Structure formats: C-alpha cells, structure tokens
Structure 1
Amino acid sequence: MKIRESLRYVLFLARRNFLASLGVVGLVAGIVFSFTFGNPPANPPNHLSLPPSAPFDQNISGLGLVEANTENISIGSFTSGIVSQVFVKAGDRVQKGDPLFTLDQRSTQAEISLQEREIDVAQTEILETTVDLAEKKEDLRRGEALQVGREISQSELKKRQFAVARAQAQLEHRIKKCEQAKAKLSLTKIDFEKLTVRAPITGTILKVRIHSGEFISDLSSSSQALILMGNIHPLHLRVQVDENDAWRFDSDTKAYAYLKSNKEIHFPLSFVRLDPYAQPKQQLSGDSAERVDTRVLEIIYKIEGNSKNIYIGQQFDVFIEVNKTNRF
C-alpha cells in the first residue's frame, strides 16, 4: 500500500515538473521568436524619395528640363486636310528632307493634270497664231511690193498692215496667257509639295500625335504639335533659375544635375548659353514651398557623360556653384 502511494506521488511530481518545464520552454521560445522572426529588421530607407544634397558650399538651385540640342521642334502643317499617310513613329531617326506625313493629294493632282492640259492648249494656240502671223506678214510683203493706186489700193494695204498688227498682238496675248498658265501650274505644284511635310533637320522623332484619316488644321495650337522632333545627341538641359538668384550666376562655375527619382544618378553639366530674358515661371517642381509668382532666367547646359537612360522631358534638380568673389 505504501509502495503504491509512493509511486503515485512520484508520477504526480514527474507530471507536474513536465508541465512546468514545458511552460518554461514555451516561454523561452516565445521570447526568442519575438526578438528574431517576430521582429524583422526595419527596411532600409527609400533612397528614391530622398532629395539630393547640394555638392557646393554656396550654390544656386534650379529645376532642369531635358530637351534636344536643337530645342524641341513642333512640326505643323502648311494647310488643312485629311492625313493620308504617316511615314514615321516615335524613336525613328530621320534625315533632313525625309517625309514625315502627307495629306490627301487627289484634288491637287487632278488640278495639276487640268492645268497641264490648259498649257498644251495654250501652246497649240500660240503655234496657230504664229502661222497666221507669218501668213499675214507675207500678204503684207506682197502688197508693199505692188504699186499703190495701180496694183493695190491704199485701203487694202492698210487692211493688211492692220491684220499683221492684230495677229502680232494676238500672239503676244496668247504667249502671256501660256506663261500665266505655267506660273499657275508652278504655284499648284508648290501647294502639292506642301501636302507632304518633311523633316526640317536631321534628328529623332520624339512624339507622333497624328494618324491616317485624321483631319488636321493649319491653325493647330503649337502646344499640341502634330510631330515633335529634335537632335538628341547630345542632350541639353534647360535650367530655370529664380530671378532673385540671377545676379549670383557665373557661367564659368561647375554645375551638376541630379535625377529627381534617384539622387545617386547625377551628371556634370557644361554651359552652352543663356537666354537673356526673364520670363514667368512655367515648369513647376511640385514643392509646397515653391514660388509661382516669380520670373525665371533660363540657362541651357549640355549633359556630359553617358546619357543613355535620360529622356526628353525628364526633370532634374540642378545645383550651380556660386563664385564667392562674384559681386553684382
């Protein structure tokens, strides 16, 4: 009996200690999990959203917009009409004089054919009048060889003289009429050439906003260019500098452009020119502290280095070094 009770007591203690040990193990496992898997390390800061810091002690900052070195050329149309064919697409490289698009040419072609036939008729009339003039001149020559009053009357001789003068005037009139028809044909051919819009420079097509079958007008707004193109080798950066900082600018100092979405991507800049006209600010950066009731000076730089992944229209944060000895 005592042995049986002793065994029960031993089993009770073992069960109790097992539950206590299991509880301790679970507690330890929970603490370990909380400090390892349950508490992962914080993600690194998003460098794409961090603004770049100025590389100079004193600098002028501005917003830069990437553009072609020929500036972005807005292609329009000489005349209104229906687009019959578009020869280019965005990204194409074209040479000066290459066709970009053409308008419907059928009515102009028909007009050219009609005017060419009119010229043929006018030239035939000139030939007929020339023969008639030669005939009347021969009649006059024979009349002048006769003795007036005996072999030919004075009135008959005058009549032949008037006939020659009339034929001569008619020939001159028809020659001028033919020349006028030729000039009209030349003008129509110019209008025909205008129906095909060609590249004004050698460059790259940046944007195409037209399609075959669309109606376009010669009064289209320049802000909605039919085709946008320019020379992108090398790229230029148009930088807007606040008019209050214009006096601090020095074209001989260094300048850097930082991509707005990644401060690690930056490029040195080379000064090209300055537009000597302060204009109202149009390109906005979106900064809440940005002033919009100001005027800006536009400075054009060339982007140095590998600009393979830079595209027309991208924005850059630009920092221009200030010459400490510069005084207004």
Structure 2
Amino acid sequence: MKRTSFSRVILPIIAVIGIIGSVVYLFRSQPDTAMTNPKETPARTPASQAKTGSIVGTGVVEPSSEVVDIAPTVPGIVAKVFVTPGDQVAAGQPLLEIDSRDVRASINEATARSATARQSIAAAQTSLRVAQNQYALYTGVEDARAVSQQEVITRRDAVADARAQLGVAQAQARQADAQVAQARVELDRHVIRAPAAMEVLQVDTRAGEYAGTQGTASVLMKLGATQPLHVRLDIDENQIEKLALGQPAMISARGDAKRQVKATFVRAEPLIVPKRSLTNSATERVDVRVLQLIFALPTEGRTFFVGQQVDGFVPAKAKQ
C-alpha cells in the first residue's frame, strides 16, 4: 500500500484549516459599529440657555454650612451616643458623651472641700466674734487700773488673728469653689454638643469604642445644615471669562439628566484650586485648575443628597 505524503497532502490541509480559522477570527474580532442609543440620557444644555449657550461644570451636593467634622476634645471611651444619621439637632444639643467617671469623682471631691471650707468660715466667724467681744470688755472698763495694758494688747491681737483666720478660710472657700467650677468645665468637655442647628449626616462611632483626639480617625460624626443644600460646581479656568457670573444655574443629578432644577447663585470662591470632582470619563482632563461656584438648591421637592454628583449648566455671556 502506498503511504500518504505528508508534505504533499497533510501539510496543505493544515494550511487551509489555518487560513479558514484566521478569517473566522478576524470577522468575530471586528468592533460592533451598529448605532445604539445610550443607556443613560447624557446631560444637555437646557432650553432656557439655548440663546446664550452654557458653561458646563461638574459638582457635588454639600450642606450650606459645608460638612462639619465632630471630634472629641478629650480622649476616652465613648459612653453614650445620643443621635443617629438623619436626626435634626439644635444648637448645644448633646451628640455623644465620653466616659467621665473620673471627672465626676473630682467634682465630688471638690464639692466636699468646698463644704469643709464653708464650715471653716463659720468657725472663723465665731472665733472673731468671741475675740471682738472679749476685746470690747477689756476696753470698756472705766478704771484703767483694773486691767493690765498687756491684756488689752493681747485681746486686740486676738481680734486681728481671728480676722486673719477668717480671711484664710474665705480664700480656701474661693479656691474650693474654683476647683468645683473647673471640674464641671472638664465634665462639660466630655459631652460633645452640636455647634448649631444641623442635620446628622454620619455617625462613625459606637458606645464602647475608644475616641482619640489626633488625626482623621478622631472624626466621630459629620454634621451639616441641609436647609438649603448647596452645589459646588467646578468650572474650568479657561471658561471663566465666558461665564455670566451671578446668574442661576440648571442642575441635574448624575444619571437623571432629564430632571433639571434651577439653583440660585450664592458666591464664587475667590481661590482657584486643582480639580477634585471627577466624572471618571475616559476623555476627562484632571490636570486643570477650576473656579468653584456655589449655588443653592430649592428646598421644595428636595431629592438631592449630600455627596451626590451633579452636572451644572451656567449661562454664558451674551455674544456681542
């Protein structure tokens, strides 16, 4: 039987199979060029700014007070947490308490010293009255020969000594009162209170955890005034001259471009800063500096949240 030639039969077959496989791979690896609608409607210039045009900026929703970080003034174990995220708190309302058993013991000790000092004052006052009465008896004798001059001097000095002892007791009482007041101030430092009427945005501690006073780990809560909410828009510094500064802006939440709300201009930050609010777009430039514009969102029908990313459209100057 005649053997099949590898070079004349099998090798050409392998070559043909390889060519067919390469063609199939090329067709399958071609990108899909079919036109499809985007999954999300991209942000568009609002109709109200169609004539003047818009300067587009990205931003973040923030409280009108900006975010206030709450940290303890003294280190220790968190004894109680009085609030939860979403609570509205009044100025001075307790937020949390650091374990204060040692300070309360100091208050009791200082209070006891103050009570002792009050008793010392009463005793010194009694001694002074006795000395004054005895001195009055000696000086009231009509016959100077009935008492010696030395006795009169002794009684007079006794009055002065009693008066000095009363002064010492009164000074000790004031010192004890000052120690009580100092201990109460220290106790008050163990209770962290709201600096103003705000909303609790985040609680990052629990009863029993240790609270320090150094570094970012010391931030136990975040508060902010959310009536109204503000939007901080980043505008490329190259677009600043085109802005109609002071005009309202149209704001839309990321992923909800169809719903736009009118935000009132509040202020422009005087410092140009590096861009920090990123959109994660592949074409986004991050090596730019931006002007930050602050706008107030309407309070009615609020559906924005602190930290939410938004797109903003600021009117451009009218073309001359």
TM-score range, shorter chain: 0.7 to 0.9
Structure 2: distance between partners of 1:280 and 1:156: 89
Pairs within 5 Å for 1:70-81:
70-81=65-76
Closer, same or farther: CA 62–144 of 1 in aligned 2, 3 Å: same
Instruction: Tell me if structure 1 keeps the 8 A contact 2:69–2:222.
Output: yes
Structure 2: distance between partners of 1:275 and 1:160: 78
Post-superposition CA distance 1:85-109 (Å, at most 9, x none): 1111112222333221111121111
Structure-1 residue corresponding to 2:267: 273
What residue ranges of structure 2 are gaps of 5+ in the alignment? 1-33
Post-superposition CA distance 1:247-276 (Å, at most 9, x none): 333334341122222322322211122222
Pairs within 5 Å for 1:231-310:
231-304=225-298, 307-310=301-304
Closer, same or farther: CA 305–140 of 1 in aligned 2, 3 Å: closer
Shift, 1:210, TM fit = 0.6
Structure 2: distance between partners of 1:255 and 1:105: 50
Closer, same or farther: CA 89–47 of 1 in aligned 2, 3 Å: same
Structure 2: distance between partners of 1:224 and 1:44: 50
Structure-2 residue corresponding to 1:313: 307
Structure-2 residue corresponding to 1:11: none
Closer, same or farther: CA 46–166 of 1 in aligned 2, 3 Å: same
Instruction: Tell me if structure 2 keeps the 8 A contact 1:253–1:322.
Output: no
| Amino acid aligned to 1:52 | A
Structure-2 residue corresponding to 1:85: 80
Closer, same or farther: CA 280–169 of 1 in aligned 2, 3 Å: farther
| Amino acid aligned to 2:237 | E
Closer, same or farther: CA 151–207 of 1 in aligned 2, 3 Å: same
Structure 2: distance between partners of 1:295 and 1:224: 31
Instruction: Tell me if structure 1 keeps the 8 A contact 2:275–2:287.
Output: yes
Structure 1: distance between partners of 2:143 and 2:36: 122
Structure-1 residue corresponding to 2:113: 118
Structure-1 residue corresponding to 2:37: 45
Structure 2: distance between partners of 1:302 and 1:65: 12
Instruction: Tell me if structure 2 keeps the 8 A contact 1:76–1:220.
Output: no
Which region of structure 1 is more displaced relative to structure 2, 190-199 or 118-127?
A: 190-199
Structure-1 residue corresponding to 2:198: 203
What residue ranges of structure 1 are gaps of 5+ in the alignment? 1-41
Q: CA RMSD in A?
A: 2.5
Post-superposition CA distance 1:114-164 (Å, at most 9, x none): 111111100000000000011111111112223686222233222222221
Structure 2: distance between partners of 1:277 and 1:192: 41
Rg larger for: 1
| Amino acid aligned to 2:240 | A
Post-superposition CA distance 1:213-239 (Å, at most 9, x none): 111123343x86311122223221111
Shift, 1:320, TM fit = 0.6
Q: TM-score with structure 1 length normalisation? A: 0.78
| Amino acid aligned to 1:218 | T
Shift, 1:186, TM fit = 1.2
Structure 1: distance between partners of 2:299 and 2:86: 21
Structure 1: distance between partners of 2:301 and 2:245: 22
Closer, same or farther: CA 84–71 of 1 in aligned 2, 3 Å: same
Q: Secondary structure at the match of 2:145?
A: coil
Closer, same or farther: CA 43–90 of 1 in aligned 2, 3 Å: farther
Structure 2: distance between partners of 1:271 and 1:165: 75
